[in-house]
Structure 1
Amino acid sequence: MEITYSETREIDEKQIVALYLANKWTAADKPKQLRKALLNSHALVSAWEGEKLVGIGNAISDGYLVVYYPHLLVHPDYQKRGIGRNIIAKLKKNYEHFHMHMLTADGKSVGFYEKSGFMVAGDTRAMWIYQGDEH
């Protein structure tokens, strides 16, 4: 079946949680907050196989200069098919003239993001107060 992409904000909480659990992301432990966070993002792109949510990515932005991409997930059964690359490309298109595009990549995903045009930001280090444990 073909993968389709959407900017819909009508995504069932159960489908979102299932995708996050499949990727072992602890945000799934807060399903109501997770759904609200995604739906209130500046931009949201989802990938679907029929009625099944197979990928999602979002952007948070000031709307003028800076955009941050906090989440990009593809269901493990659908990885290595270009879905994540298509989601990030669609998100980036919304912000192509912005001064700064930012994200935090763990060691496993650095190469993926480099292929999408991102680079390690000099000597900067990501810093956070974080309640999850998957990183």
Structure 2
Amino acid sequence: MGLINALSDGVMTVYFHYLLVRPEYQGTGIGKKLVKLMLKEYKDIARKAVIAYDSEVEFYEKCGFELGEDKSPMFVTYLKT
């Protein structure tokens, strides 16, 4: 139904790579539950980060994330989004 992935240095920063929820289960609370579980798992890590598509910013704000001021995500990639 859903999957969330994270990468952490174990001390300072955890980065949530992606959150996937099957379309037929979106809007049922699965995504919020997965984020909540990851935040609990990494509760002792000082910085928790996610790069969200503009359309998903509101979802992550509801999960407790805040937009960074004067920050821009940057990439070197061959993937098209």
Same fold flag (TM > 0.5): yes
Give how far 1:131 is off. Answer: 2.0
Residue 87 of structure 1: aligned partner? 34
Q: For structure 1, which runs of at least 5 residues remain unmatched after alignment?
A: 1-53
Identical pairs, percent:
36
Q: CA RMSD of the aligned region, Å? A: 0.8
> Does residue 1:62 correspond to 2:4, yes or no?
no
User: How many pairs are equivalent?
Assistant: 81
Give how far 1:97 is off. Answer: 2.0
**64, 75, 98: which one aligns with 2:22:** 75
Moved over 4 A (4+): none
Q: With CA pairs under 8 Å and 6+ residues apart, which has the higher RCO, 1 or 2?
A: 2
Structure ID, larger Rg = 1
What is the alpha-carbon distance in structure 2 between the residues aligned to residue 90 and residue 77 of structure 1? 21
Q: TM-score, normalised by structure 1?
A: 0.58
Q: For structure 2, which runs of at least 5 residues remain unmatched after alignment?
A: none
Give how far 1:56 is off. Answer: 0.2
Residue 129 of structure 1: aligned partner? 76
Aligned 1:1-135 pairs, distance under 5 A: 54-134=1-81
Q: TM-score, normalised by structure 2?
A: 0.95
